[in-house]
Amino acid sequence: MYHKKLTAALAIAVLGATSGVALADKPGADWITLEQAVEKAKAAGYTALHAIEADGDYWEGEGVKADGKVWEFKIDGKSGEVTRDKED
Say what the pLDDT of residue 24 is: 62
Q: Which amino acid is at 75?
A: I
pTM of the prediction?
0.71
pLDDT at residue number 26: 93
Domains, the chain, in order of start with CATH, read 2-87 (3.10.450.40)
Q: 68: buried, middle or exposed (CB in 10 Å: 19+, 13-18, 0-12)? A: exposed
Helix (H) / strand (E) element for 34: namely helix 34-43
pLDDT in tens, 38-68: 999 999 999 999 999 999 999 999 999 999 9
- The pLDDT assigned to 73 comes to 98
Helices and strands counted in the chain (H then E): 2, 4
Q: Residues 83, 38, 73, 57: is their CA dihedral positive or negative?
A: positive
**pLDDT of 10:** 44
